[in-house]
A and B are shown apart, each in its own frame.
Chain A
Amino acid sequence: MTTSDSSTSGLYSKVLFTGIWRENPTFRLMIGMCPPLAVTTAVKPALTMGLSVIFVLICSNLVVSLMRKILKPHLRIIMFTVTIATFVTICDLFLKAYLPKMSEILGAYVPLIIVNCIIIFRAEACASKSGPVVSILDGLGMGVGFTLALCILSAVRELLATGHVFDIPVMPTAFVPWLALQMPVGAFVTLGLILGLINVLTRKRTVSEEELEAAAVQPMAEPQQPATA
């Protein structure tokens, strides 16, 4: 971080990894929650959805970043929407042409990416204020974070609801599928449990930090104790 070169690459990797973990849109920011609940019954459609969002996010971030200096502030939302809608339509056409099965399973959820708030949020919060490289990396990071979240959720649901992951049977034949996990209720329960697990994991770390701090303070307090006793 001392030379300008390493600080630029440090910034880039920070931008990239912020979206994947520290500000993961699904698990940490809890925005754009419609696809994580609706298309996570199996890994394949979830992955298709995630890749579509990565494509739209990178493209729209790049275009918004390039036009940020000529953007009229009061017309920015309509410009974002027009940009996003264009790339979503292109993505939808590609899915229909090359992945008709997936396009059919995802149905209305692909056009609904237009109103996914992750994309408009990144356009507003990052792309309209940053250069093209940072915007692309931000889009990639957020998109990958979103895709990972979708994949984790759908892997759990697909495994327990059908005994398959990515359409490959993994469970022993004696396994009784939990059909409820394929229904909307399964999405809410799985999401809630994973969020709880993540909160527990991250809280443990902060608790141990507090203990470290307390341990660091202790030697100062200890010599006083015999004096008061």
Chain B
Amino acid sequence: MSVFDGLRFRRVASPVHILDPRIKFFYVCSIFVVAILFPEILPLIVLFLLQIPFVLIARVQKEWIRSLRGATFLAAIIFGSNIVFRFIYAGYTLILPDLEFALAMTLRFVVLVEAFSVFFLTTSPDHLGLALEQSRVPYEFCFAFTTAVRFVPVLADEAETIMDAQKARGLELEKGNFLKRIRNYIPILIPLIISAIRRSLELAEAMESRAWGAIEKRTNLYVLKMKAGDYLLIAISVSILILGIYLRLHAFIPSLSDLLL
């Protein structure tokens, strides 16, 4: 389950990990917005490179690369479908700008994956729940959210065990045509869903026996406070956002093929 590995949080003492999750989320959103603004490849390359220092400071390079590798399959699909549609649209010829456009779309996806993976790699689920709660989101929603995040790796592990168990009974996942391959996953999905339901019922009982929802107003052991680093990240995010919007409105962005040829 390499896709999930890129989202699995690991506790590291770094300046990025202790940042306020709300600010980190704002940063991710700014990257997101700017990435959506530009269909040209140059600004997307800049956005991609911009995040690398962030990854290095957080010392999550290994996991980060793994999450990018997990995204290659989807990236390939995006690239392929863009190429195919552009190819048909242009009247069955492939021109350089089309290739560049397809590359840009793929890179846009990669930038988004990159940003979210940095966010999830450096933010503990507890921290995230805390941020939601202190943004006045009702506690029920916060709890549901943190629980969902918390159980992703558990489910991934379980899926792996189930796959092993079914393989040991002769199931071959990569056998047969497309439809058969999808059907091959039934023996894996059913036990997985059943165990998830069973687990949720157990969790509900455990919560109730620990007086969940006994009082209206909960108090928190930890309270999020903005620090110097948080203000710096706000400044960076706002600059990215403003610069992005300004360039979009007032600047001409050359394409890579024009620059090179």
A and B pair up: no
Residues of B within 8 A of A (CB): none
